Structure formats: structure tokens, C-alpha cells
């Protein structure tokens, strides 16, 4: 095990996969000699050269279209869009091409594309550089959705994604780039569709993603002081979703709180809530509760943007409300 932050873990995963497989190729805006605006490809260009990692114009639709062409001709492209917010500029190529190409061609074609997408509130970047748009793509047929919450998972999930023969959208929260944890050395893999039971509990299930996994664990620790035993789940993959992990937890606790940074309406928690309502309704002892970003644009102000992300205290208050419900 080695202590590293998520930025370093991503660089390590990319380095290992480029070295392991000659078909892996990286490209995007400023990811070559510069090493990426967030440093997640730092040093790779010097090590592997222009044929394995190179810069592109600011043209998101073209980046994804080129990745599709490379994939169906035998490469394993890993394009990066500088901000996940700009996935909208490539929506047709992602939603209608990457996800559906295999099925529009008789199911015979592989489309091994991993699209890296930095997301989330960080540093007063404002309404067009701070969003978490992963929920927009959950309904996309043929697309897998990865959302790591720590450095170890980022390494293992990125390696899994690159080796996958179907397209993966890999969402990386910018705040997590500097957060450290122990990361397994060597060929660390997190299985596709396998969630993580972060903390066991008996009274309430909290399902959180990205930075809010850590916040949920902090809230659960505080609630334990009041005798409330909270289970915390990180789905890791929004698609395919680890339904068994979620449903087995709710069968035990009977209460669930869904916590995410993206907007509440149509957000990450909506589909999970629908699955719970369909498959575990009679296990519930309280209504399904969602705690998420408000349905307004994210503020430019450093002070105001913090009110958009659910806080530890808000999670604690929502958890207590659910426990009190009779």
C-alpha cells in the first residue's frame, strides 16, 4: 500500500495501463506536455511520447467522435474533457454514438472508450465549471457510469474502465484530487458494478457519492454518539448499480437517506429511490429521503457555493428526522 492523493492514483492507473496495453491512448485539452489542468496526466507525455498521449483542440464533440473511431478500429482511447460540464457539447456523440454504436451494428462491435470527466464544486469556478452532470447520462443505453470517492477506488475503477469493452463515463470530483488515502500498489482492480459498504449500521442507510461519502461517514460517526447506528454505502458505479448491496442494507435498516451534490430534481438519487420503491417498499419504515443540491445554478462566490453541497450537519439533521419517523 502507498499513501497518495487521487490525482497521483489516476496518474499511476494511466501509466500502468499504457505500459500494459499498446492499444491504450490518451488525448484531450492540455493533457500532453502540460500534464492536464488538474495534473492528472503529469509526466506521462515525457514517458510515453506523442503517439500515446497528445493534446487536442477545444472541440469536445470532435474529441468523443475521434475516440469512437479509434475504438471501433482496435484502440482503447481514454479521452479527457477538461470539465464534465462540457459533456453537453458532445452529448450526441456520447449518448447516441458511444452508447448505441454496438447495438446499431448487430452487437458485434466493441466500443472500449473511457471518457474522463472532472466534476463538482471547487474553488469558485461558477455555474458552468462546477456541475455534476452524471445523472444526465444514467438513462443512456449502453453507457456505464463510474464515480469514485477516494484515491484507491479511482485507481481500481479507472483500470477496470479502460479494460472494459463498453463505454464508461468516468466522473472525477475535483475536490478529491488532493485527498489522500492508502492505495494498493500494482494491478488493483475494482469490479464493474460493485459498490462499497463503507460503514456497517442497523438503524439507517445513507447512500452517498463522490465527496459526500466522506461527509456521510463523518455524520454517521457523530450520530453514533447519540446511539444512532448508521450504515454508509458508496455505490461507486451508478451504472451498473449494485442493487443487491443497497436492497440488502435497506432490508436491515428500513430507512434510507440519499445524499448527492448534483441537483435534487432528476439527480443521482432519483433513479436509486425509484429502484428502492419498486423492490423494497415493504421493507421501509420511513419515507425515502433525498438530500441534494438545490435546483438553481451554482454560485461563483466561494462563500455561496458551499451552501449548494449538503453539509455534515444537514445530513445529521435529516438522519434524525428519519429515525424519529413513526
Q: Compute the average pLDDT of residues 115-131.
A: 92
Rg of the chain on CA atoms, in Å: 20
On the question of pLDDT at 311 being above 90, the answer is yes
Average pLDDT for the chain = 97
Q: What is the pTM of this model?
A: 0.96
CATH superfamily, with its number, for domain 2-183:
Thiamin diphosphate (ThDP)-binding fold, Pyr/PP domains (3.40.50.970)
What is the helix, strand, coil percentage profile of the chain, to 5? 40, 20, 40
- Give the model's pLDDT for residue 177: 98
Pairing mode of beta strands 256-263, 204-208: parallel
Q: For 87, which DSSP code? A: G
The mean pLDDT of 248-264, rounded to a whole number, is 98
What is the percentage of the chain residues whose pLDDT exceeds 90? 93
pLDDT at site 210: 98
Residues in Cβ contact with 277 at an 8 Å cutoff, skipping those fewer than 6 apart: 288
Nearest CA among 66, 236, 99 for reference residue 154: 236
Percent of the chain scoring above 70 in pLDDT: 100
Q: How confident is the model at residue 123 (pLDDT cuts 50, 70, 90)?
A: confident
pLDDT in tens, 64-88: 999 999 999 999 999 999 999 999 9
Q: Are 195 and 18 in contact (CB under 8 A)?
A: no
pLDDT higher than threshold 80 for residue 50: yes
Query: What is the structure's pLDDT at 313?
Result: 98
Look at residue 5 in the predicted model and tell me its pLDDT: 98
Q: Find, among 141, 146, 183, the residue nearest to 161 by Cα.
A: 146
Judged by average pLDDT, the poorest of 175-179, 271-275, 293-297 is 293-297
Whether 173 sits among the annotated catalytic residues: the reply is no
User: For the residues 303-317, what does the mean pLDDT come to?
Assistant: 94
Phi first, then psi: give them for residue 299, nearest 5 degrees.
-70, 150
Residue owning grid cell 442493487: 243
> What's residue 201's pLDDT?
98
Residue 241: per-residue pLDDT? 98
* pLDDT digit string, tens, across residues 146-178: 999 999 999 999 999 999 999 999 999 999 999
Check pLDDT > 80 for residue 249. yes
Res. 111 pLDDT band, cuts 50 70 90: very high
The residues pairing with 55 across neighbouring beta strands, listed in sequence order, are: 28
For strands 237-239 and 256-263, give the pairing: unpaired
pLDDT-based confidence at residue 126 (cuts at 50, 70, 90): confident
The domains spanning 2-183 and 196-324 adopt the same CATH topology: yes
Distance (Å, whole) CA 289 – CA 149? 21
In this prediction, residue 108 carries a pLDDT of 86
The answer to whether the CB of 181 falls within 8 A of the CB of 3 is yes
Q: List the one residue out of 35, 275, 3, 301 whose CA is nearest residue 151.
A: 3
pLDDT, residue 124, reads 87
Q: Under a CB-based contact definition with an 8 Å cutoff, are residues 316 and 219 in contact?
A: yes
pLDDT confidence of residue 125: 86
SS3 call for 267 = coil
Catalytic annotation, pick one of 129, 173, 188, 260: 129
Distance CA 217, CA 137 (A): 27
Is-contact 161 143, C-beta < 8 A?
Answer: no
pLDDT at 326 over 80: no
The domain ranges of the chain are: 2-183, 196-324
Report d(CA 207, CA 290) in Å as an integer. Answer: 10
Residues 6+ apart with CB under 8 A from 261: 120, 121, 132, 173, 209, 210, 211, 212, 292, 293, 308, 309, 310
Distant-in-sequence, close-in-space partners of 183: CB < 8 Å, separation ≥ 6: 1, 2, 3, 4, 9, 12, 151, 152, 155
Per CATH, the number for 196-324 is: 3.40.50.920
Side-chain-facing half-sphere of 59: CA atoms under 13 Å: 8
Q: Which residues of 54-80 are buried (b: 16+ CB within 10 A; e: fewer)?
A: eebeeebeebbbbbbebbbeebbbbbb
SS3 label, residue 261? strand
Amino acid at each position: 500500500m502507498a499513501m497518495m492523493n487521487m490525482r497521483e492514483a489516476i496518474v499511476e492507473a494511466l501509466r500502468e495501463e499504457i505500459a500494459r496495453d499498446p492499444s491504450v491512448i490518451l488525448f484531450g485539452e492540455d493533457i500532453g506536455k502540460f500534464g492536464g489542468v488538474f495534473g492528472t496526466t503529469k509526466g506521462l507525455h515525457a514517458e510515453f511520447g506523442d503517439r500515446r498521449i497528445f493534446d487536442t483542440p477545444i472541440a469536445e464533440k470532435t474529441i468523443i467522435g475521434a475516440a469512437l473511431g479509434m475504438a471501433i478500429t482496435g484502440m482503447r482511447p481514454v479521452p479527457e474533457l477538461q470539465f464534465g460540464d462540457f459533456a453537453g457539447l458532445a452529448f450526441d456523440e456520447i449518448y447516441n454514438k458511444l452508447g448505441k454504436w454496438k447495438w446499431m451494428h448487430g452487437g458485434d462491435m466493441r466500443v472500449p472508450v473511457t471518457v474522463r470527466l472532472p466534476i463538482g464544486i471547487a474553488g469558485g469556478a461558477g455555474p458552468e465549471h462546477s456541475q455534476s452532470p452524471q445523472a444526465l447520462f444514467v438513462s443512456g443505453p449502453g453507457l456505464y457510469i463510474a464515480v469514485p470517492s477516494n484515491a484507491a477506488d479511482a485507481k481500481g475503477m479507472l483500470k477496470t474502465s479502460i479494460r472494459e469493452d463498453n463505454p464508461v463515463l468516468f466522473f472525477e470530483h475535483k475536490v478529491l484530487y488532493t485527498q489522500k488515502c492508502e492505495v494498493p500498489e500494482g494491478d488493483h482492480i475494482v469490479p464493474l458494478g460493485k459498490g462499497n459498504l463503507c460503514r456497517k449500521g442497523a438503524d439507517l442507510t445513507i447512500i452517498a457519492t463522490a465527496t459526500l461519502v466522506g461527509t456521510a461517514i463523518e455524520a454517521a460517526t457523530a450520530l453514533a454518539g447519540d446511539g444512532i447506528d448508521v450504515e454508509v454505502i458508496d455505490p461507486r458505479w451508478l451504472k451498473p448499480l449494485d442493487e443487491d448491496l443497497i436492497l440488502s442494507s435497506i432490508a436491515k435498516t428500513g430507512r434510507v437517506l440519499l445524499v448527492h451534490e448534483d441537483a435534487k430534481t432528476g439527480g443521482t438519487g432519483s433513479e436509486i429511490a425509484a429502484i428502492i420503491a419498486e423492490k423494497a417498499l415493504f421493507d421501509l419504515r420511513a419515507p425515502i429521503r433525498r438530500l441534494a443540491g438545490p435546483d438553481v445554478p451554482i454560485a461563483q462566490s466561494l462563500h455561496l457555493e458551499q451552501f449548494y453541497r449538503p453539509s455534515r450537519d444537514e445530513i445529521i439533521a435529516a438522519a434524525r428526522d428519519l429515525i424519529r419517523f413513526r
